[in-house]
Amino acid sequence: MPAEITSIDEFVSLSEIALECRVKRSKDVVKLKLRTPGRLYTHKAKVERADDVIRRLKCEIVEV
């Protein structure tokens, strides 16, 4: 089961062990999905803040 992370700092720290981060953009929200070897982590960000979060991630970015 995926786990939703509400803290941006925790999500960025998890990106260090992630294989990739998938970015799903919609009108109101951007969904970020981190695939780690053991689990899928998700985070919902507002469109305005999403690019700042994506720049901080330390894994491969895949736009969906």
Q: And the tokens for 49? A: 């803040």
pTM of the model: 0.93
Instruction: Note the CATH number of domain 3-63.
Output: 3.30.720.90
For 27-54, the pLDDT digits (tens) are 999 999 999 999 999 999 999 999 999 9
∠ Cα 57 29 17 (to 5°): 20
Q: How many residues does the chain have?
A: 64
SS3 (DSSP) at 30: strand
For 13-34, the pLDDT digits (tens) are 999 999 999 999 999 999 999 9
Q: Tell me which amino acid residue 39 is.
A: R
State how far the Cα of 40 lies from the Cα of 17, in Å rounded to an integer: 12
Instruction: Report domain extents, the chain.
Output: 3-63
